[in-house]
A and B are shown apart, each in its own frame.
Chain A
C-alpha cells in the first residue's frame, strides 16, 4: 500500500528565506509524486509532479522538488519565500493506474507554511 509522510505540520520562515517542506513516501512500485498547494478557502492546485526521467522537477511559483529514490523522499523547496506562499502544502503519491481509468492519489497530512516579515 502506498503512503506519504510529511514531517512538520507547521513550518515558519522569514520572507526571503529558503523554504523546505519534507515528504517521504512508501510505495511497492515506482511511485509518481505530486505536490499540491491549497490557499485559504480554495481548492488544491498542482505545484509540480514527478513521473519519470529527470529527478529534479520544477514547478510553478519558483518551487521545485527532487525525487530521491534511495531516501524515498520528494522534498519541496523554494530559494526565497514570499508572503504569497503562505498556504497549506500537500504531498501525494500515485502508483498503479486504476482499472477503468483515473488514478488514486494518497495524500499526506499537509504542512502549513507561514511566511513572516
Chain B
C-alpha cells in the first residue's frame, strides 16, 4: 500500500499553461507539505497544511496555489507556468505530535518539465 502518492509522475508542458499535481496520503496524518527540488537537488519547502488549513507559505509566487479538499489530500495548482518552474515536486505528510520531531513521509515526486 502506497503511503503518500502523487500523480502524475511526469508532467511535460508548455510555458504559459496551467497544470495541477495531486497528492494523497493514507497514513491518517494531519499535516501535509509541498517541497520543490531543483536541478541541483536542493530541497525547499513551499507549503504546509494542517487539517486543511495553510500553515506555511514560503514566499512562493502566487501562481502556485495549494488546495486541500480534506486532510488526506493536498493538490498543487500552478498557473502560467514558467521555465524556472521545472523541478521535481514532492508531497509529504506527518502526524502532528506538537513537537518539532515529527517524521515527514515523502511521496515519489512529480517531475515537471516546462518547455
Contact = CB atoms under 8 A, between A and B. Distances in A.
A27 B101 CA distance: 15
Interface residues of A, number: 30
A102 B33 contact: yes
A49 to B, nearest CB: 7
Contacts of B106: 36, 43-45
A102 B55 contact: yes
Contacts, number: 85
Contacts of A36: 106
Interface in A2-42: 32, 34, 36, 38, 41-42
A5 to B, nearest CB: 13
A74 interface: no
Contact of B102 (A38, A45, A90, A102): A102
Given A100-B55, A102-B48, A102-B96, A43 B4 contact: yes
A78 to B, nearest CB: 20
Contacts of A107: 42-44
Interface of B: 4, 30-31, 33, 40-45, 48, 50-51, 53, 55-56, 90, 92, 94, 96, 98-109
